[in-house]
Amino acid sequence: MKATVITYGCQMNEYDTHLVESQLVSLGADLVQGVDEADFVLVNTCAVRGKPVDKVRSLLGTLRKIKAQRPLVVGMMGCLAQLEEGQQMARKFEVDVLLGPGSLLDIGQALESNERFWGLQFKDELHEHIPPAPTGKLQAHLTIMRGCDHHCTYCIVPTTRGPQVSRSPDDILRELDLQLAAGVQEVTLLGQNVNAYGVDQGARLAGYPSFADLLRLVGRSGVRRIKFTTSHPMNFTEDVAAAMAETPAVCEFVHLPVQSGSNHVLRRMAREYTREKYLQHIAEIRRHLPHAVLATDIIVGFPGETEEDFQDTLSLYDEVGYDSAYMFIYSPRPGTPSYKHFADLPRELKTERLQRLIARQKEWSARKNAEKVGSVQEVLLRGDAHDAGFLEGHTRGNHPTVVPKAIGASQAGVYPVRIEHATPHMMYGRILDASGEPLPEQPRLNPEAAAVTSPLQMA
């Protein structure tokens, strides 16, 4: 069997894709890149916003047409599969295999079945399964928990992924050992709310460390770089910031979603903290990490948001000074309290506010990135950029970075890079040698074309 998995959504979905792909390989399947080559196409779905749902709907329509022309098994997994909306979609588009986020290990049973297979249970054994480490990659994701015990009024995650279940520290460290043995240098700890690790359904689990102590444990493993996502401000503690400062491997990058700068909107979202409490967390982070790189999530146009509420969000930007942000207009999702109880705002109003927010974030990103010009950053270079004469990667602070390939450093790896130019969305620099001087660039096949397309000049 030739199989391919098409993934939408978050890093948790990327991790789940790797888990399922490893299962498919163990069953004897060959993984292929495109639908045209595949006998089995599995779509890993996201249900957090309307746009990825629309993409899945369009793809399933295309796959149904292909099924009418040749033998093809179509599967659907992920958050959307757990919802009635997704199950209706699966019936409409003649999906053969339906797997919820807790049933990914049932893929073998599903493919052996001669009839439609729908596995949608939440299963604890998923947490005990340790997938093989990714091969040939310097980065890896490592799930430390699944599900969420919060009930934000806009969020479908508690419905699709169930209540929070923390993974045992022994399983986490065993998987990390496999990743390090495979050459991984940067690991990102994943969870719907990593700060609540070890406290499931309000109860502290015996023998489980706090998230801060888990960071310290992982930091002693020998891994070079540690990141984590996502954090909920309600569960953030100053000890997390202290653990970051005490553990050299933990990158000075904090993604702390605020969603709104207005207390009125935060109450309607059921976020369980205030603007003032959130800013207290920012102060704690900066007390321990003065040069922390801060990112956030913002939902614009939540039901009931007034212009005054939106101005509170803009003023929060000026008070915090975020390096980057994920910004979305509110997308009503069936099955959430906000969908059921709140009237949506006009789309044109939400779009106009989003454009103003993007402009504000662009100002801050430009200012923050400009401060890095002239500095030396540790950059993990993943491989070729769009122009083959360049490598792309990211700093410890998660800044996208592009450098020319250099003699002696033309492959993926972690290198010191002096930043020479920055835009709101990208930094450009050159790889340095041990003495701090730029390494000589590799010659290009077409120097004139390279001169035109060089990001250092285009920027």
Annotated binding site for [4Fe-4S] cluster: 10, 46, 79, 148, 152, 155
Residue 107 structure tokens: 């893929």
What tokens were used for 440? 């000589």
E strands in 289-389: 293-300, 324-329, 376-384
Give the residue numbers of the binding site.
10, 46, 79, 148, 152, 155
**3-state helix/strand/coil string of 132-166:** CCCCCCCEEEEECEECCCCCCCCCCHHHHHCCCEE
CA distance 446 to 109: 53
3-state secondary structure of 115: coil
CA distances from 332 to 155, 251, 328, 338 (A): 9, 34, 12, 7
User: Crossing angle of helices 275-288/238-246, nearest 10°?
Assistant: 20
Work out the angle between the directed axes of helices 50-67 and 84-92 (0-180°, nearest 10): 20
Distance CA 450, CA 224 (A): 33
DSSP symbols for 5-42: EEE-S-HHHHHHHHHHHHHHHHTTPEE-SSGGG-SEEE
If DSSP states are collapsed to H, E and C, what string results for 311-335?
A: HHHHHHHHHHCCCEEEEEECCCCCC
Phi, psi dihedral angles at 65 (to 5 degrees): -65, -40
Distances (CA, A) of 149 to 86, 99, 191, 271: 23, 22, 12, 12
142 contacts 187 by C-beta, under 8 angstroms = yes
d(CA 390, CA 378): 17
The upper half-sphere exposure of residue 317, i.e. CA atoms within 13 Å in the direction of its Cβ, equals 24
Give the burial class of 267: count Cβ atoms within 10 A of its Cβ; 0-12 exposed, 13-18 middle, 19 or more buried. Answer: middle
Token pair, residue 27, equals 């069953």
Among 398, 443, 399, 439, residue whose Cα is nearest residue 415: 439
Q: Are strands 139-143 and 186-190 parallel, antiparallel or unpaired?
A: parallel
